[in-house]
Amino acid sequence: WKDENGGFTNIPMSYMLQASLYAELSNLDRIVFLVGFLEEKDYDRPKQWVPNPDNTKVIVVPKLDMTEYMKQCEDWYNEYIKGGYTPEWTDKDEEVLKYLKAYKPKR
């Protein structure tokens, strides 16, 4: 998250994409991230971590232009869902499947 100038502008792209999609669908221009930065010791007892101005940051950024991303999704939907067939398996699919198999819902 920390940039070369000591600010906090290096937002992970996965976060930017997800937040930008929500912003796009909600007709919002900006995204607000409230981020808590834990130290190594905080991971041992996360319930004892107390947010304060030194360990939290509010980061306000413009949303990404989602036009091309949404076009890619629409094209994929039209080709595979409306076309009625499954896309070819790729290595990227293996990563997603591994993640999905690891998910254990709370009961």
What integer best gives the mean pLDDT of the chain?
93
Hey, what are 46's tokens? Answer: 């996360």
Q: Which residue has the higher pLDDT, 6 or 78?
A: 78
State mean pLDDT over 55-71.
97
Q: Which of 104, 12, 101 is nearest to 64 (CA)?
A: 12
Distance, in Å, from the CA atom of 107 to the CA atom of 102, rounded to the nearest integer, reads 15
What pLDDT is recorded for position 70?
96
Distance, in Å, from the CA atom of 75 to the CA atom of 70, rounded to the nearest integer, reads 9
Q: Which residue has the higher pLDDT, 99 or 26?
A: 26
Say yes or no to pLDDT of 92 above 90.
Answer: no
Distance, in Å, from the CA atom of 49 to the CA atom of 56, rounded to the nearest integer, reads 11
Say yes or no to pLDDT of 104 above 90.
Answer: no
Say yes or no to pLDDT of 107 above 90.
Answer: no
**Composition of the chain by helix, strand, coil, percent to 5:** 45, 15, 40
**pLDDT tens track for 6-38:** 888 899 999 999 999 999 999 999 999 999 999
pTM of the model: 0.73
